[in-house]
């Protein structure tokens, strides 16, 4: 019995499939009828989970959402227009195995990089949207992720559309070395300009969101939202346990922990996310008055 995770996540964090091998391009569509929740072990209909936005209907575990699926969940049908669809990573350091890793991720996921950006409408309100995909080399930020995020910020600035970034990432991409680190400065600087022009930026943190992305654009939203239970941290629990051997209390590093300590504004369940974003946009004077029974 394949677990739910296998069916929806596609491959593990570091894709090992060689590029030539045939891989089903639609990694997120399960072919079986049933699967088993990795969290509560309940047997579930795949269609039921699908309809529930990839959230377990039994235990409410929020599974990772592939970027394209997330865009479908958040935008009005047919309104997403991708920005910079052809921007592709290179191997600036000739880093061992990087080219192969990129090719494998691109081939198995049908993505050029770990983020999709574009303009769209959300409940009729025009927005600029960036959505990261964790399955692409752990959602890591190299030059292209940094550049696409920065261009998305510039698009929002130029059009004066609100910016929404849905982040999920293991951090800066090791294989592009210091150039990845510099993307943190680049994206933060761009958001500094956006803030000066008083354009709204809502950051949505999804499981997991850590390290270099968390320590740059993901933490700089005017409003920061997280999905329930999402691992959100600078240094994840494993890093802490390995480097300083500190014992961690249960629930540390989760969205609820961050809410408690004052670093995010609210936790929103996936099924409420689009509606909540719509409310927040309207509260910033977009799309007219409240219409959905606040």
Partner 1 sequence: MACNGVLDFEKPLVELEKRIEELKRFTAEKAIDFTEELQSLEKKAERLRQEIYQDLDPWQRVLLARHPKRPLALDYIPLIFEDFIELHGDRGFRDDKALIGGLAFLEGRPVTIVAEQKGKDTKENLYRNFGMPCPEGYRKALRLMKQAEKFGRPVISFIDTPGAFPGLQAEERGQAEAIARNLLEMSKLQVPIVAVVIGEGGSGGALAIGVGDRILMLENAVYSVISAEACAAILWRDASYAKEAAAALKLTAQDLLELGVIDEIIPEPLGGAHRGLEVTAKLIKEALVRHLNELSELSPQRLVARRYEKYRRMGRWQ
Which residues in this chain contact partner 1 in the complex, by CB under 8 A? 87-90, 92-93, 95-97, 142-144, 146-147, 150, 172-174, 176-186, 188-193, 195-196, 211-212, 214-220, 233-235, 239-240, 243-244, 246, 248-249, 252-253, 257, 261-263
Pairing assessment for the beta strands 201-210 and 163-169 based on DSSP bridges: parallel
Q: How far is the CB of 179 from partner 1 (least distance, A)?
A: 5
Asked if residue 278 lies in contact with residue 122, where contact means CB atoms within 8 angstroms, the answer is: yes
Q: Does residue 253 sit in helix, strand or coil? A: coil
Question: Which of partner 1, Zn ion, none does 58 bind, CB closer than 5 to 8 A by kind?
Answer: Zn ion
250 class by beta-carbon count within 10 Å (0-12 exposed, 13-18 middle, 19+ buried): exposed
Question: Which of Zn ion, partner 1, none does 192 bind, CB closer than 5 to 8 A by kind?
Answer: partner 1
Nearer to partner 1, 74 or 191 (CB): 191
* Contacts with Zn ion, 23-42, as mask; x by CB under 5 A: --------------x-xx--
Q: How far is the CB of 213 from partner 1 (least distance, A)?
A: 9
Nearer to partner 1, 45 or 257 (CB): 257
198 class by beta-carbon count within 10 Å (0-12 exposed, 13-18 middle, 19+ buried): exposed
* Contacts with Zn ion, 241-260, as mask; x by CB under 5 A: --------------------
Question: Which of Zn ion, partner 1, none does 45 bind, CB closer than 5 to 8 A by kind?
Answer: none
Does 58 contact Zn ion by CB under 5 A?
Answer: yes
Question: Which of partner 1, Zn ion, none does 24 bind, CB closer than 5 to 8 A by kind?
Answer: none
- Gap between the Cα atoms of 155 and 165, Å rounded: 13
Asked if residue 39 lies in contact with residue 4, where contact means CB atoms within 8 angstroms, the answer is: no
Asked if residue 36 lies in contact with residue 3, where contact means CB atoms within 8 angstroms, the answer is: yes
- Gap between the Cα atoms of 23 and 10, Å rounded: 10
Cα dist from 138 to 135, 218, 255, 272, whole Å = 6, 16, 19, 26
Helix residue ranges per DSSP H, 136-269: 143-159, 177-196, 211-214, 237-243, 255-260
Does 54 contact Zn ion by CB under 5 A?
Answer: no
Question: Which of partner 1, Zn ion, none does 23 bind, CB closer than 5 to 8 A by kind?
Answer: none
- State which of residues 53, 56, 144, 194 lies at the interface with Zn ion (CB under 5 A): 56
Residues that bind Zn ion (CB under 5 A): 37, 39-40, 56, 58-59, 61
């Amino acid at each position: 019995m394949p677990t739910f995770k296998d069916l929806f996540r596609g491959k593990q964090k570091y894709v090992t499939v060689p590029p030539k091998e045939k891989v089903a391009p639609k990694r997120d569509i399960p072919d079986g009828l049933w699967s088993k929740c990795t969290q509560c072990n309940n047997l579930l209909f795949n269609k039921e989970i699908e309809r529930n936005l990839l959230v377990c209907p039994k235990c409410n575990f929020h599974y990772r959402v592939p970027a394209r699926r997330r865009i479908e969940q958040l935008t009005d049908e047919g309104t997403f227009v991708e920005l910079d669809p052809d921007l592709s990573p290179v191997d600036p350091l000739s880093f061992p195995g990087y080219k192969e890793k990129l090719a494998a991720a691109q081939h198995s996921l049908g993505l050029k990089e770990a983020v999709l950006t574009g303009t769209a409408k959300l409940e009729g309100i025009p927005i600029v949207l960036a959505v990261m995909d964790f399955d692409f080399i752990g959602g890591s930020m190299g030059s292209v992720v940094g550049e696409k995020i920065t261009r998305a910020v510039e698009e929002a600035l130029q059009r004066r559309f609100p910016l929404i970034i849905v982040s999920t990432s293991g951090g800066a991409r090791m294989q592009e070395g210091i150039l990845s680190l510099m993307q943190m400065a680049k994206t933060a600087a761009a958001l500094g300009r956006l803030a000066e022009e008083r354009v709204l930026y809502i950051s949505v943190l999804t499981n997991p969101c850590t390290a270099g992305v968390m320590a740059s654009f993901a933490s700089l939203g005017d409003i920061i939202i997280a999905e329930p239970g999402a691992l959100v941290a600078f240094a994840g629990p494993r890093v802490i346990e390995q480097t300083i051997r500190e014992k961690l209390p249960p629930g540390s590093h989760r969205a609820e922990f961050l809410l408690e300590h004052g670093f995010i504004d609210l936790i929103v369940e996936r099924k409420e996310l689009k509606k909540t974003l719509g409310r927040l946009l309207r509260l910033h004077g977009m799309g007219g008055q409240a219409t959905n029974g606040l």
